Amino acid sequence: MDNPRDHSRDERRRLQTDSFAGFLGFFAFLSVVQAVINVLSPDPAVWPAVLALILVVATVATWRYGRRFR
């Protein structure tokens, strides 16, 4: 049933991972900006930096995972 020349499944998976990486990247960028602003405030908190770290690591992991489908 699977046609070896039909690459639509691979293309769909690549597009999904690229979309997810872009989504994560956008929010990772916003959280890094928020963490920098937080560091410059008089009473900084730790959670913005932790959130930025988690989102940046998730973005890089998703990006590296998506490179396997190219």
Mean pLDDT of 38-57: 95
Greatest Cα pair distance, the chain, in angstroms, is: 64
Question: CA-CA distance, 29 to 51, in Å (whole number)?
Answer: 11
Q: Is the pLDDT of residue 11 over 70?
A: yes
User: Strand runs (DSSP E) across 1-70, as ranges?
Assistant: none
Mean pLDDT of 10-39: 94
What pLDDT is stored for residue 2 in this prediction? 59
Overall average pLDDT of the 14-18 stretch: 90
| Cβ 17 vs Cβ 69: under 8 Å | yes
